[in-house]
Amino acid sequence: MKLGSHVSVSGKGLLSAVKEAISYNADTFMIYTGAPQNTRRKNIEDMFIGEGLSLMKEYGIEDFIVHAPYIMNFASPNKETFQMSVDFLAKEIVRTEAMGAPYIVMHPGAHVGSGEEIGLQRIVEGLNEVITSKQRVKIALELMAGKGTELNYKFEHSAYIMDKVKYPDKLTVCFDTCHTHDAGYDIINDFDGVMDYFDRIIGIERLEVFHINGSLNQRGKRKDRHANIGADENNPKGKDYIGLKALKYIVHHEAALGKPCILETPWIDKKTNLYKEEIIMLK
């Protein structure tokens, strides 16, 4: 089992991120190379990569994940937004490879009214511009909740993208528990069945990253609002409608073993090491 959380590169880049992950007793972690809301990034030389990798080795942390910023939209009908997304992901892949991370997670995009079929075609077009046969990093297509015109809320969307891109071996899937629950998949009562369906549609070997989050919504609401694991009505951030029992089952499931499982739960404003507590709960 590999459990970790999102951590910050603020300060000394990768070294700061590793130190934060260690404070949570994490086995893995996920970073944004800069703020997820913009494209401003430090130079690779200023990211303390060597120091970070050395500290990872010292504590037995084998790998970590990079998450691409939210502002990218490969499905956008706007040419400038589309090209910005393509150009920036290409740069992020270079940064991810320089840091030694095996995966970069991305939100595939929203069609903004142009329709799902056209939006999916745009995603394929953009990925074909970015992906090269020689890149080592895999792009993990994050399964989404389906809010608004958001795509990849169905397993079939990922299967379509992988079937159409030139280098499908460079793609994998990131399974977000909040998103898939909100999209309508019954991960609470029938995670085995969800995994069987995933295997039929995409192939279980394509599932390589998990985001482990509770949900503030009942199944199928398509809203994407993360909750703390097992939180009840008295929690200041709201109730978790997925629950500890279901999430614990998922991280211990054979489909998740050996794969990075990353917490993106809200940080409650209290004096506690929240991610450390949630990792203990799940273990």
Mention every residue, 6+ apart, whose C-beta is less than 8 A from residue 180: 143, 187, 194
142 is in an annotated binding site: yes
Rg (CA), the chain: 18
Q: Residue 174: exposed, middle, or buried by beta-carbon count in 10 A (0-12, 13-18, 19+)?
A: buried
150 is in an annotated binding site: no
Q: Which of 125, 119, 129, 121 is nearest to 75 (CA)?
A: 119
Distance (Å, whole) CA 30 – CA 33: 10
The total number of residues written for the chain in this structure = 283
| Other C-beta atoms lying within 10 Å of the C-beta of residue 190 | 12
253 is in an annotated binding site: no
226 is in an annotated binding site: yes
Distance (Å, whole) CA 21 – CA 277: 13
157 is in an annotated binding site: no
Q: In sequence order, what are the beta bridge partners of 104?
A: 66, 139
211 is in an annotated binding site: yes
Q: Parallel, antiparallel, or unpaired for β 226-227 and 214-215?
A: antiparallel
The two tokens of residue 97 are 């490879």
The angle subtended at Cα 69 by Cα 67 and Cα 75, nearest 5°, is 105
Mention every residue, 6+ apart, whose C-beta is less than 8 A from residue 100: 49, 53
277 is in an annotated binding site: no
107 is in an annotated binding site: yes
224 is in an annotated binding site: yes
- Binding positions: 67, 107, 142, 176, 179, 211, 224, 226, 264
- Binding positions for Zn(2+): 67, 107, 142, 176, 179, 211, 224, 226, 264
